[in-house]
Amino acid sequence: MSSLLYVCVRPEIGAADAEHASFRRALGADVVDRLDLLERPLDAVPLDGYRGIVVGGSPFNVTDTDKSSVQRRVEADLERLAHRAMTGDLAVFFTCFSIGVVTRLLGGEVTTSTPESASATVIRTTAAGASDPVFGPSGPALTVFTAHKESAVATPPGATLLATNDACPVQAYRVGSHLYAAQFHPEPTPRDFADRMTFYRTTGYFDPAEFDRVQGQVLAASVTEGAALLRRFAQTFAEPLPEAFRADAAL
């Protein structure tokens, strides 16, 4: 059993397999266990042995009005995972779709008015982000990959904003000391992200007629700090957090 777990919420098997490989490389781990949440519920895997859990992206949206029973169960399981992270029981890094689940759980509002198409974009760390053990070393600005249709209107209650930009004000936040949530995708290399685009060519993340141009821009981007964030996330929770940070991050 690995000390790290990748929670998959993608229905496209090829994209999920590639995302798992991307997380494994970004985390710097030879082995990262996997739970396909669309196939098995959260309680199918004992979580107590993991020091770090990462949640991948998904074409799901929390603002969807016609949700399948599977999507509703997945969202409920992610809420349960967030509750455990908020108590400090587990360290979890939520990405993409799942930041919307956490935002809603905290009582925040999720909107479709600040989408970002598939691209590399620059985000800025906040003052809190600059002192955060995961985000701080990457500031004051870092380039990451984004592709989303919805996002948080504002930092939800109980969360600390870590990163922002003009297009999407809530790029990342922390809740307590063990829950991180990012709107962007921290794990892919340019090649990874360009390959992922092929699975979502007609799903609204970019103009399909512009596929070659957008993919070329992705491949030409210099994006390294997302992986650095994940590596520090894994390293931070390998040992107990410093007492000063635990006190500063307390709810």
pLDDT of residue 141: 96
* Residue with the two structure tokens 């990451």: 144
Strand order from edge to edge, sheet including 4-8? 33-36, 4-8, 52-55, 92-95, 179-182, 172-175, 160-164, 116-125, 141-148
pLDDT of residue 2: 84
Burial of 39 (0-12, 13-18, 19+ CB in 10 A): exposed
pLDDT of residue 110: 98
CB atoms inside a 10 Å sphere around CB 216: 12
pLDDT of residue 246: 42
Residue type, 248: D
The one-digit pLDDT tens for each residue of the chain (251 residues) are 689 999 999 999 999 999 999 999 999 999 999 999 999 999 999 999 899 999 999 999 999 999 999 999 999 999 999 999 999 989 999 999 999 999 999 999 999 999 999 999 999 999 999 999 999 999 899 999 999 999 999 999 999 999 999 999 999 999 999 999 999 999 999 999 999 999 999 999 999 999 999 999 999 999 999 999 999 999 998 754 445 444 444 33
Q: Which of 19, 22, 1 is nearest to 9 (CA)?
A: 19
pTM of structure: 0.94
- What is the set of domains in the chain, with CATH numbers? 4-248 (3.40.50.880)
